[in-house]
Amino acid sequence: MSIRLKNIAKTYGKAGRGVSRALEPLDLDIHEGELIGLLGPSGSGKTTLLRIIAGLEAADTMSDRPSSIHFGDRDVTHLHVRDRRIGFVFQHYALFMHMSVFDNVAFGLTALPRKQRPSSGEIRARVQRLLEMVQLESLANRYPAQLSGGQQQRVSLARALALRPDVLLLDEPFGALDAKVRQELRRWLRHLHDELNFTSVFVTHDQEEALELSDRVVVMSNGRIEQIDSPEVLYRSPANRFVFEFLGDVNRLEGHVHDGTLTCGDARLDVDLDEGSHELLLRPHEIKLDEHPTELAHLPVTITAIAPVGAEVRVELEADWLAEPWLATIRHADFERLRIKRGQRLYAIPRQWHQFPAANQRSIASETMS
Amino acid sequence: MHRIGDAPKVRRALVSAAVILSALFLLLPLVAIFAQAFSAGADVFWRNITQPDTLSAIGLTLFITVLTIPVNLVFGVALAWLVTRFRFPGRRLLQTLIDIPFAVSPVVAGLVYLLLYGRNGWIGGWLDTHDIQLMFAWPGILMVTIFVTCPFVARELIPLMQAQGSRDEEAAVTLGASGWTLFRRVTLPNIRWALLYGVILTNARAVGEFGAVSVVSGAIRGQTNTLPLHVELLYQDYNTVGAFASASLLALIALLTLATKAGLEWRAARREA
């Protein structure tokens, strides 16, 4: 079921007494069967947007531009939460602590009006199937307090799916879990989504989670949508500086360009830019280290910290001409070849850099590979 | 680490002071009530208790309590729900208003009710022309008892419901639960212990209320005399044994209430462990 939002805005507080805009008026189209990640820092409005889709919160009513929410052909703008046919998964599970796992999952079915309610035998069979799906069939008679966080979140997912909702909404579903369980559940949710083919929207502040799990990511900040794209496009061509900075670590190089050379203290870099002040941004993996400068780049740095993390080595670089230290990720082979130690002086060589001249323009990425 | 009061001398002094004070101020009076009640023997005690006026007082007190509890149960739950689940102008003010019965002396409360609903009162005058009498009759006693006890349930529930938040209810409503289903199957189980505790406190106060009731009841023997008022009447009649016999009944109800409360707390502690 597709989700179509039009003119959704949300303001908290009363006029004249410190109004805060949680959401600027925005439109969003989510296609049938998509898994969409709402990504942004806290206060960006992503959870508010999710709760408005669910109907747990109401969008502002604007007389000049009426807002609307459609699930497929169904206009749900004025429909109560309980009639929207959504599944909602909360960050802290919100399981009913006084009910067994079985009763939790069965809640939606047993709460149906008598006429629509399936027979108790059918309810039992359906709950059993759901518990098998989340691999918890052996724990049906336990209480939530007896389960681990990951198991509780799986129960809450089974509960949300019991009524076969049109859309599944997840509010930071893995936020309260530890890294390993989170990874496992992510993969499992992706699998479940592909198998059952519902439309899902989930909120996260973890860019890795958003990029790994989503078909498309909606990046938000300050109540606005900054960019909507697939993870590949998002990472390759961020729409603006905010998106670029939010999606990963960023190193900054500020300097003055004269005659095609950017200088900053005793650092030099040949660039194809106009005269004047410029700021360049570099990802950690776009920095190479070597014992000698090149003709194009003369950027002397000192190694101040080394941390081997998985497939690469994270190295912190400092220099007089840098306002804040740089972070570079280099391959183990280079690390060993250069015999990198703390305090060692080397030269940084950018493979590529990015620049965002003005707001809301596509990036200019340049190859400066030596 | 040396804790304050850890020295053996200090500890002994503190413990004995606590024991002596509790014995003098709490235990001894309780013992005295029963000692006085039975001072002339069990059959005199029994005769006093089974006197028609005493029986009527017992009946009236229980009648008022039985009516007060459900009223305040519904009122308290509704108020706590309103204050913790909704944001509206005047919410703070309402939360302060709940405490008025605690802040105002019960005698003053009784006088205000008399002023409003008495025969010469603002509303009472109109009621009188329609032949409705509230003051100096059981409806008046019920009204002031409800007034005096109405914060107990709400006061117990509000902090708990605030701490619990509305996540569970939101979860239930996304699962299609109607308002009543949601209350019965999700909210009520979450608040049941606090609710029961509030009811116990309401019960204790409704049974024992003296000040407000004494103003509006008129203390007509066999008609509008509650048990606490009856104790005073008997005492003024120099029937010490009778007064203490009735007082012992009140003490007994209080002890039962305390036992129930302790039992509930013990159960709650065990459930958490």
Same domain, A227 and A271: no
- By the 8 A CB rule, do A126 and A140 touch? no
On chain A, the residues whose CB falls within 8 A of the CB of B91 are: none
The gap from C-alpha A180 to its chain's centroid, in whole angstroms, comes to: 18
8 A C-beta contact, residue B53 and residue B221: yes
Q: Is A176 on the interface with B (CB under 8 A)?
A: no
Pairs of CB atoms within 8 A across A/B: 61
Separation in Å, CA of A187 to nearest CA in chain B: 24
pLDDT of residue B16: 95
Task: Choose the weakest-confidence range: B12-21, B46-55, B217-226.
Answer: B217-226
pLDDT at B125: 86
- CA distance to partner chain B, nearest, from residue A51 (Å): 10
Looking at the predicted structure, is the pLDDT value of residue A268 above 80? yes
Q: Any CB–CB contact under 8 A between A79 and chain B?
A: no
Q: Which residues are within 8 A (CB) of B76 and not within 5 positions of it... i.e. 6 or more apart?
A: B150, B152, B153, B154, B156, B157, B195, B198
Q: To 10 degrees, the CA torsion angle through B111, B114, B117, B120?
A: -120
Question: What does the pLDDT look like over B144-179, one tens digit per residue?
Answer: 999 999 999 999 999 999 999 999 999 999 999 999
Judge if A81 and A212 occupy the same domain.
yes
Say whether residue A50 is in contact with chain B using an 8 A CB cutoff. no
- pLDDT tens track for A272-286: 888 889 999 999 999
Chain B contact for A246 (CB, 8 A cutoff): no
**A188 lies in the same domain as A287:** no
- Same domain? For A258 and A213 the reply is no
pLDDT digits (tens, 9 = 90+) for A186-239: 988 898 898 888 899 999 999 989 999 999 999 999 999 999 999 999 988 899
Q: Do residues A325 and A295 share a domain?
A: yes
Question: The domain that contains A276 carries what CATH number?
Answer: 2.40.50.100
Can you tell me the mean pLDDT for A108-120? Answer: 93
How distant, in Å, are the alpha carbons of A50, A164, A192, A207, B59 from that of A37? 10, 21, 16, 9, 66
Alpha helices per DSSP H over chain A: 46-54, 101-110, 120-133, 149-161, 179-196, 207-213, 231-236, 241-246, 332-337
Of B167, B181, B185, which has the smallest distance from its Cβ to A90's Cβ? B167
Give the position of tokens 């000692």: B35
How many CA atoms does the CB half-sphere of A205 hold within 13 Å?
Answer: 10
Name the pLDDT band for B5 (thresholds 50, 70, 90).
low
Backbone φ and ψ of A228, nearest 5°: -125, 115
pLDDT, average across residues B63-88: 95
- How far apart, in Å, are the Cα atoms of A213 and each of A152, A159, A195, A199, A208? 20, 21, 14, 13, 8
Pairing state of beta strands A261-264 and A300-309? unpaired
**Structural domain span for residue A19:** 3-246
Q: What's the residue count for chain A?
A: 370
- In chain B, pLDDT over 70 holds for what percent of residues? 97
- A81 contacts in chain B (CB < 8 Å): 170, 173-174
Rounded to a whole number, what is the distance in Å from the CA of A56 to chain B's nearest CA?
7
Overall domain count for chain A: 2
pLDDT of amino acid A62? 81
Give the per-residue pLDDT at A14: 65
Residues of B in contact with A92 (CB under 8 A): 167
* Lookup result for tokens 């004249």: A16
Listed residues A195, A213, A246: the one ending a domain: A246
Closest CA to B48 of B247, B242, B228: B242
Is CATH 3.40.50.10860 what the domain over B42-272 is classified as, yes or no?
A: no
Nearest-10 crossing angle of helices B106-117, B138-149: 130
Subunit contact B175:A81, Cβ cutoff 8 A: no
A87 CB neighbours in chain B (<8 A) are 174
Nearest CA in chain A to B188: A98
Q: Give me the residue from A81, A97, A112 closest to B174, CB to CB.
A: A81
- Residues on chain B touching A82 (C-beta within 8 angstroms): 173-178
Q: Residues A218, A308: one domain?
A: no
A18 sits in the region (left: phi over 0; alpha: psi -120 to 50; else beta) called left
Going by pLDDT thresholds of 50, 70 and 90, the confidence category of residue A369 is very low
Q: Is 70 exceeded by the pLDDT of residue A2?
A: yes
Is there a contact between A94 and B190 if contact means CB atoms under 8 Å apart? Answer: no
> What ipTM describes this predicted complex?
0.81
Residue B272 — pLDDT band, cuts 50, 70, 90? Answer: low
Contacts of A88 in chain B (CB under 8 A): 170-171, 174
Cβ neighbours of B184 in A, within 8 Å: none
The residue assigned the tokens 């909210």 is: B187
* Predicted confidence (pLDDT) at residue B180 exceeds the cutoff of 60: yes
pLDDT greater than 50 at residue A359: no
Smallest CA–CA distance from B169 into chain A, residue: A94
Domain ranges of chain B: 1-37, 42-272
- The reported pLDDT for the residue numbered A73 is 93
Residue A22: φ, ψ to 5°: -80, -35
Nearest by CB to residue A94, choosing from B167, B178, B189, is: B167
Are the CB atoms for A354 and A280 separated by under 8 Å? Answer: yes
Shortest Cα distance from A141 to chain B (angstroms)? 17
Q: What is the mean pLDDT of chain B?
A: 91
Q: In terms of domains, do A259 and A228 share one?
A: no
Q: Within 10 A of A65 (CB to CB), how many other CB atoms are there?
A: 9
Q: Does A106 touch chain B (CB under 8 A)?
A: no
Mean of the per-residue pLDDT values for chain A? 90
User: What per-residue confidence (pLDDT) applies to A367?
Assistant: 47
Which one of A84, A96, A159 makes the best mutation probe of the B interface by having the most chain B beta carbons within 10 Å? A96
Contact B171 A90 (CB under 8 A): yes
Domain end residue (candidates: A227, A246, A265): A246
Question: With an 8 Å Cβ cutoff, are A88 and B171 in contact?
Answer: yes
Distance of residue A88 Cα from the nearest chain B Cα, in angstroms:
6
Kindly tell me the burial class for residue B109, based on how many C-beta atoms sit within 10 Å of its own C-beta (0-12, 13-18, 19 or more): buried
Same-domain pairing of A78 and A213 = yes
The Cα–Cα gap between B152 and B136 comes to: 26
Query: Where is the domain boundary, A200, A227, A246?
Result: A246
Q: Identify whether residues A155 and A267 lie together within a single domain.
A: no
CA dist., res. B60 & res. B47, Å (int): 19
Judged by a CB distance cut-off of 8 A, whether residue A201 touches chain B is no
Residue with tokens 């805009």: A21
Searching chain A, which residue's CA lies closest to the CA of residue B175? A108
Q: In this predicted structure, what is the pLDDT of residue A366?
A: 53
All residues of chain A having their beta carbon less than 8 Å from the beta carbon of residue B172 are: 96, 107, 111
Of B43, B27, B59, B40, nearest in space to B249 by CA: B59
As a whole number, mean pLDDT of residues A289-317 equals 92
Contacts B175 to A, Cβ<8 Å = 82, 107-108, 111, 159-160, 162-163
pLDDT band with cut points at 50, 70 and 90 for residue B133: confident
- A164 and A33 together in one domain: yes
Choose among A94, A98, A162: nearest Cβ to B171.
Answer: A94
Chain B partners of A175 at a C-beta cutoff of 8 Å? none
- A217 and A176 both lie in a single domain: yes
- Chain A (112-171) residues lying within 8 Å, Cβ to Cβ, of chain B: 112-113, 156, 159-160, 162-163
Best to test chain A binding among B85, B88, B164, B174 (most A CBs inside 10 Å): B174
- Mean pLDDT to the nearest integer, B245-254: 92
CB contact under 8 A, A96 and B172: yes
Identify whether residues A206 and A330 lie together within a single domain. Answer: no
Chain B interface disruption, residue of A107, A110, A156, most B CBs within 10 A: A107
